Structure 1
Amino acid sequence: MSKVTFFRGQQLPLEMHKVRIIQKLTLLPVEQRLEAIRAAGHNTFLLQNADVFLDMLTDSGVNAMSQEQQAAMFRADDAYAGSATYTRLYDKLVEVFGMEYFLPAHQGRAAENILGQVLVRPDTAVAMNYHFTTSKQHVVVHGAEVLELIHPDGLKVTSDHPFKGNMDTDALRAVIAERGAEGLSFVRMEAGTNLIGGQPFSLDNLTEVSQICHEHDIPLVLDASLLADNLYFMKIRDPRCVDLEIPAIVKAMADLCDIIYFSARKLGFGRGGGICIRDEAMYKRMRGFVPMFEGFLTYGGMSVREMEAITVGLDETLDFDMINQGPQFIAYMVNELDRRGVPVITPPGGLGAHVDAMRFLDHVDQRQYPAAALASAVFLASGVRGMERGTMSEARDINTGVEPLAHMELVRLALPRRVFTLSQVNYAIDRIDWLYQNRHLVGGMRWVEEPEILRFFYGRLEPIGDWTTRLVEQFRADFGDSL
């Protein structure tokens, strides 16, 4: 493991890389942070990056590139068709996943659009270990429903289960028995369940899901966007994988699936995406949607420079020293917050540290969006931009107006790969600790502007009462002239 033990025996993560390019950051005074979050409608997606100190909104498209990736971008072949860049990316994907057919797309949700167009049938369902916002939307708009069949431990906020992202295979069998195989358009497994703390699934679980799907001739689709984190946890937690090299684990996973799609904004440390397909007939069913929605078949809406970077990034995803830094930093942050009493999702997962807003703000009604309120409060206390992953991220039924309450109310503090230093992580921990000590000051939120589709991206809220002002006043009283 790439860790070093020092300082009275405490284990601290050790980066297996050095920083060679930097970006200057700005830490605004707390009063200016209040102005900024008000202007953003208390939606951290709408903050200007110039007003953000540490951007922990997401790991999507903001991971640091290596020198090898930067160098590869200079050899990009920008031919509209027949590009050598495409051939290099295609060859790498065949090497990694072993699937003969590939369709490029500009990012993961573009791949989901194509999957929805081809695979989703009205009045059926798509079974998932857990949904992601865009994956669910692409199912719903085609007249189907999403069935979340997460392992029972998956929705336990605190647990020592190593694979909380596992699908409940008994529930999958029961759904097939009730609805018939024709009642499922496909089964989707997400490597690293984003919305419940980046929790992984095991190879045994994927194997069992695959056996059930193939027994009933149901396509098994793997969302590999967060594959790197899932691979890390398989390598250190899964008895079947501890003695395997990372490429062998990937191949074992891929052999169980019919289709693998991904956002290269996460997988491969670049920007883009695509769909790997095992069956030629399925490939031909999907192929026409690429020039319709994305671009020609050999670039699919991606920059060829990014395609070269992804090709190298896929190699780096197979390097344990490259993929372990993110989960180790996350584990450090989660464990430190937990040690200070701050409620977090355990065990530490991938993507980021996830703070449990339901326990953090147990005095705020869930219908007042505690995760959204906490995300605003974290920004006020620290200049750190996190993301609401709770009821605000759900979708109100456009026919009935009913708003489903999320299973969890989380604030995700993403740690993009190879970006932050340990001192920056410690700063975030310290400010969140202060906020927890003053949590009684934080109140709820209500809508000012509520879009019908994917409202969490661009909707606007306002605080109920003047709690943001009181929080700023307490910050200034405790920290004085400190930012």
Structure 2
Amino acid sequence: MDEPAFRTIIEPFRIHSVEPIRMTTAAERRERLAAAAYNLFQLHADDVLIDLLTDSGTGAMSRDQWAAIQRGDESYAGSPSYFVFRDAVRDLFDFAHVIPVHQGRAAERILFTVLGGPGKTVPNNTHFDTTRANVEATGATAVDLVIPEGRDPASRHPFKGNMDLAALEALLAGGADVPCVFVTITNNSGGGQPVSLENLRGVRALCDRYGKPLFLDACRFAENAWFIREREAGQGGRDVVDIVRDIAALADGMTMSAKKDPMGNIGGWLALDDPALAQECRNLLILTEGFPTYGGLAGRDLEALAQGLKEVVQHDYLRYRITSTAYLGEALQQAGVPVLTPIGGHAVYIDARALLPHLDPLHYPGQAVAVALYELGGVRSCEIGTVMFGRRPDGAEAAAPMDLVRLAVPRRTYTQSHIDYVIEVCGCLAERAHRLPGYRIVEEPDALRHFTARFEPIA
């Protein structure tokens, strides 16, 4: 008998323990918003019904990860847990030096402290917020070179995260002082869009031609590999593990926030082949993070990450992960909510500029949508637009290429009924979108302002 195909997406796991969600009213949420100066990062998590602010460190660990925690060895130096972790990383990313850190931005800070500096330029398909901040903190310039389709929310290009190879070659040929080339997989700031293997090979060829090392910001490597398997010619039917190894073989090193695809609640690493560069990075690690065999993490964290790396490349999990995110995105489109297409792997991105055409980008339409989603239904999301990327290093304000609101879905955390509720809230928002006010910033820090800025609505 032929195996039937069913439409229902089921989670490839059972729920072992639960934590309560505190229900709130719209009146309570309005009070919380005012107290938080309309910055969703400043809300108390207990006041959030469905938390889609980020998928970073917010997922549920598995039974086997919790069991691995019990094996954690807390020796200060030379812990056996480090070698379990190192070998799990090397099984997928065969770099000579694996340096643990407490999270991805620590790896970025260490690497760019060594490689960055005034007068230097670091190209990326699109820098995410902490990557850009760590580049610019050294006095270097962060340049985004994503393909033109990557700046068009409505484009259906299957690999909108690709690097613009012609633009990269022009930069390298023009004599810029480029210490390294970075590629972010998947491209978070551009809507969680994947990068093709063909494009990575093109970037590698240019790096070889101009003598530049290639680094990956690879925190969503498994989702990117799944998209390659599903969308790229000649890659269908391959094992995701083999695709990941092909990706890693093209690079000289990587930074990793292990709070994403490696399924951890904390952790990350910097991995690379150059022994001299690795030694400089280890020296900084010891100064600010910890000894090289723990790097700011407990042994139990290292064990959990090693197990997470085995689980994230399982096809059943990735099929569920990508399909369930697409379920949310497609339902929002049917409800009249404009979203960035194709749907990304870890999140759905609402096109706030299209949803709120009455607002100028400098009145932060993304922030307006994010605030309204929380007020209406207790759904916390994240603005990725002019608030996050609008202020230039010289202090000037400019509109970001896109104003998006990211609904980042934590791994193995919410059920389909939670997602159906989010769809309802977004549909309700779409009906009221024309009435939403813009926002102004009344107080902001010098860097990464979206975390702590204070807002007020524009009457």
Same-fold call, TM > 0.5?
yes
Deviation of the 1:396 alpha carbon? 2.6
Q: State the AA in 2 paired with 1:104.
A: P
Deviation of the 1:308 alpha carbon? 0.7
Partner Cα separation in structure 1 for residue 391 and residue 406 of structure 2 = 22
2:260 maps to 266
Note if contact 1:259-1:278 (Cα within 8 Å) is conserved in structure 2. Answer: yes
Aligned counterparts, 1:255-404, within 5 A: 255-270=249-264, 271-394=266-389, 396-397=391-392, 399=394, 401-404=395-398
Note if contact 2:362-2:398 (Cα within 8 Å) is conserved in structure 1. Answer: no
Which range moves more in the overlay, 326-335 or 238-247?
238-247
1:46 maps to 42
2:92 maps to 96
Q: State the AA in 1 paired with 2:118.
A: P
User: Structure 1, residues 393-447: CA drift from partner, whole Å, max 9, x if none?
Assistant: 0253464x31121111111111111111111101110111011011122110011
Note if contact 1:4-1:14 (Cα within 8 Å) is conserved in structure 2. Answer: no
| Candidates 9, 18, 22, aligned match of 2:14 | 18
Partner Cα separation in structure 2 for residue 61 and residue 121 of structure 1 = 30
Partner Cα separation in structure 1 for residue 164 and residue 4 of structure 2 = 37
User: Structure 1, residues 191-235: CA drift from partner, whole Å, max 9, x if none?
Assistant: 011112100000000011011102211010101111122122112
Deviation of the 1:42 alpha carbon? 0.7
Note if contact 1:12-1:332 (Cα within 8 Å) is conserved in structure 2. Answer: no
Structure 2 regions of 5+ residues with no counterpart? none
Give me the TM-score of the superposition, normalised by structure 1: 0.92
Q: State the AA in 2 paired with 1:72.
A: A
1:437 maps to 431
Aligned counterparts, 1:27-38, within 5 A: 27-38=23-34
Give me the TM-score of the superposition, normalised by structure 2: 0.97
- For residue 180 of structure 2, give the secondary structure of its aligned residue in structure 1: strand
How many residue pairs were aligned? 456
Query: Does 1:417 pair with 2:411?
Result: yes
Note if contact 1:120-1:186 (Cα within 8 Å) is conserved in structure 2. Answer: no
Q: Relative to 1, partners in 2 of residues 1:397 and 1:165: Cα closer, same or farther, differing over 3 Å?
A: closer
1:471 maps to none
Q: State the AA in 2 paired with 1:298.
A: T
User: Structure 1, residues 108-131: CA drift from partner, whole Å, max 9, x if none?
Assistant: 000000111111142021110011
Q: State the AA in 2 paired with 1:344.
A: V
Note if contact 2:103-2:258 (Cα within 8 Å) is conserved in structure 1. Answer: yes
Query: Does 1:74 pair with 2:105?
Result: no
Partner Cα separation in structure 2 for residue 142 and residue 311 of structure 1 = 32
Note if contact 2:161-2:194 (Cα within 8 Å) is conserved in structure 1. Answer: yes
Deviation of the 1:379 alpha carbon? 0.5
Note if contact 1:398-1:452 (Cα within 8 Å) is conserved in structure 2. Answer: no
- For residue 179 of structure 1, give the secondary structure of its aligned residue in structure 2: coil
Note if contact 1:106-1:301 (Cα within 8 Å) is conserved in structure 2. Answer: yes
Note if contact 2:222-2:244 (Cα within 8 Å) is conserved in structure 1. Answer: no
Query: Does 1:165 pair with 2:164?
Result: no
Aligned counterparts, 1:228-239, within 5 A: 228-239=222-233
Identity, % of aligned pairs?
Answer: 39
Note if contact 1:326-1:416 (Cα within 8 Å) is conserved in structure 2. Answer: no
